[in-house]
Amino acid sequence: MVVSKKIVIHFPKRLADQPIISRLVKQFDLEFNILKASITPAEEGLLVLELTGKQSEYEKGMQFLLKTGVEIQSLSQDVTRNEERCTSCGACITICPANAFVLDRKSRLVKFDNEKCVACGLCIKSCPPRAMEVHF
């Protein structure tokens, strides 16, 4: 399945001169469209991109981006959790590349932090009771 998603990438100063985007589009065969690019006085970069490609390659690309140390925000999608469905099984904790799920050791409940989510979609397929939902 081909997907097209808009994301915001924040580059810290130490990564501003790295060829991260060219590696992303080459390695994962993604097409990109730059919607906005700017650099702050502190030399941090901000890029708003539309990425199009195969869903599986997009997911791998997001994992690659997160490993480089850039910060990503999703613009076009919001991922939420249906709390009534979640069984706190923990399957999503190791899957999520953005570390948006954390096990609360006291309550043994899995907490979801929507602010960290980059809408890669991995948890939606892997959640056994289908508690994770994507909204466009």
Contact call for residue 7 and ligand SF4 (CB under 6 A): no
Cβ-based nearer residue to ligand SF4, 1 or 42: 1
Q: Is the dihedral of CA 36, 73, 58, 130 positive or negative?
A: negative
CB 9 within 8 A of CB 47: yes
Helix (H) and strand (E) counts for the chain?
A: 4, 8
Applying CB under 6 A, the span of 17-25, 30-38, 47-55, 127-135 interacting with ligand SF4 comes to: 127-135
CB 61 within 8 A of CB 53: yes
118 dihedral zone (left: phi>0; alpha: psi -120 to 50; beta): alpha
Of the candidate residues 6, 46, 88, 102, the single one contacting ligand SF4 (CB under 6 A)? 88
Q: How far is the CB of 103 from ligand SF4 (least distance, A)?
A: 9
Of the candidate residues 89, 104, 111, 125, the single one contacting ligand SF4 (CB under 6 A)? 89
Cβ-based nearer residue to ligand SF4, 24 or 131: 131
Q: What is the CA radius of gyration of the chain?
A: 16
Contact call for residue 24 and ligand SF4 (CB under 6 A): no
Contact call for residue 8 and ligand SF4 (CB under 6 A): no
Three-point CA angle 96, 93, 23, nearest 5°: 20
- Residue numbers of the site for ligand SF4 (CB under 6 A)? 79, 81, 86-92, 95-96, 98, 100-101, 110, 117-123, 127, 129, 131-132
